[in-house]
């Protein structure tokens, strides 16, 4: 079983190319509306309620979804966590996002500002022209302000102490979470932050291989 968690502000649409290529059952975990002042572990526990306590298989999280997947794995230890375009712990937060955290710019310029500058977002996230860009603009349009503000703050202030092990799939051209000194299990040549769409075939081969090895 593959439990799929989309990225920040995204939904099941980001898996439209990957999901049909996976061997075995899949279950999409949709985002919940955060409660007032909700902490990430509590939020992850609420999402985990949709997963049987004895479940086995894979938690597959994209971007911020990878962070949530790692938090869910604390209460669903039978699942292996796979990160797509994400980070295995808070120490891997790149310098740009560390600067955003220290300066608190995310409070002044929330993600909704990207709706006004979609081409800038296209470059940052590595989105290709054509259908991918049209989908990207739809996702920007549908972003829910309350959720995205909470998610950005949760990412920037994530306490990953004693977080479990994970398998990381990262693109060589990812500008959001660029490859750093930490070893990466699978590097996708030319992959950007939106590679769950652009490189779905390569990612599916990795996931299916991991499932076959179990």
Q: How confident is the prediction for the chain on average, in pLDDT?
A: 90
**pLDDT confidence of residue 100:** 81
Total number of domains in the chain: 1
pLDDT per position as a tens digit, 48-66: 999 999 999 999 999 999 9
**pLDDT confidence of residue 97:** 86
What is the DSSP secondary structure assignment for residue 117, as one 8-state letter? Answer: -
| % of the chain beyond a pLDDT of 70 | 93
Range from 95-104, 124-133, 191-200 carrying the lowest mean pLDDT:
95-104
**pLDDT confidence of residue 106:** 61
pLDDT band at 10 (very low <50, low <70, confident <90, very high): confident
The predicted model gives 133-145 an average pLDDT of 85
5: β partners = 61
End-to-end CA distance of the chain: 12
Cα 47 from Cα 169, distance rounded (Å): 23
Q: Which of 122, 114, 14, 116 is nearest to 64 (CA)?
A: 14
pLDDT per position as a tens digit, 144-158: 878 888 998 999 999
**pLDDT confidence of residue 96:** 83
**Which CATH number belongs to the domain containing residue 121 in this structure?**
3.40.50.1820
Question: With a threshold of 0.85, does the pTM exceed it?
Answer: yes
pLDDT per position as a tens digit, 14-45: 999 999 999 989 999 999 999 999 999 999 99
Cα 84 from Cα 176, distance rounded (Å): 12
Tell me: pLDDT of 112 over 80. Answer: no
**pLDDT confidence of residue 138:** 87
Domain span at 147: 2-213
Cα 133 from Cα 114, distance rounded (Å): 13
CA 178, distance to chain mean position in Å, is 14
Q: Which of 76, 106, 108, 80 is nearest to 93 (CA)?
A: 106
pLDDT band at 111 (very low <50, low <70, confident <90, very high): low
**pLDDT confidence of residue 141:** 82
Instruction: Give SS3 for 80.
Output: strand
* φ, ψ at 61 (rounded to 5°): -115, 135
Q: Which of 28, 32, 31 is nearest to 3 (CA)?
A: 28
**pLDDT confidence of residue 126:** 85
Tell me: pLDDT of 72 over 90. Answer: yes
């Amino acid at each position: 079983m593959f439990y799929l968690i989309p990225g920040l502000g995204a939904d099941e649409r980001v898996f439209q190319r990957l999901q049909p290529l996976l061997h075995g059952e899949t279950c999409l975990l949709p985002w919940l509306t955060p409660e007032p002042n909700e902490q990430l572990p509590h939020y992850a526990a609420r999402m985990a309620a949709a997963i049987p306590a004895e479940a086995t298989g894979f938690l597959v999280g994209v971007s911020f979804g990878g962070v949530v997947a790692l938090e869910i794995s604390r209460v669903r230890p039978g699942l292996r966590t796979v990160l797509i375009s994400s980070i295995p712990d808070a120490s891997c937060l790149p310098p740009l996002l560390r600067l955003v955290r220290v300066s608190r710019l995310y409070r002044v310029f929330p993600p909704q500002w990207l709706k006004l500058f979609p081409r800038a977002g296209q470059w940052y996230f590595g989105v290709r022209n054509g259908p991918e860009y049209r989908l990207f603009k739809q996702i920007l349009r549908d972003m829910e302000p309350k959720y995205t503000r909470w998610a950005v703050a949760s990412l920037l202030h994530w306490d990953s102490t004693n977080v479990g092990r994970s398998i990381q799939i990262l693109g060589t051209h990812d500008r959001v979470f660029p490859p750093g000194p930490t070893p990466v299990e699978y590097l996708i040549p030319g992959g950007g932050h939106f590679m769950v769409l652009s490189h779905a075939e390569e990612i599916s081969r990795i996931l299916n291989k991991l499932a076959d090895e179990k």
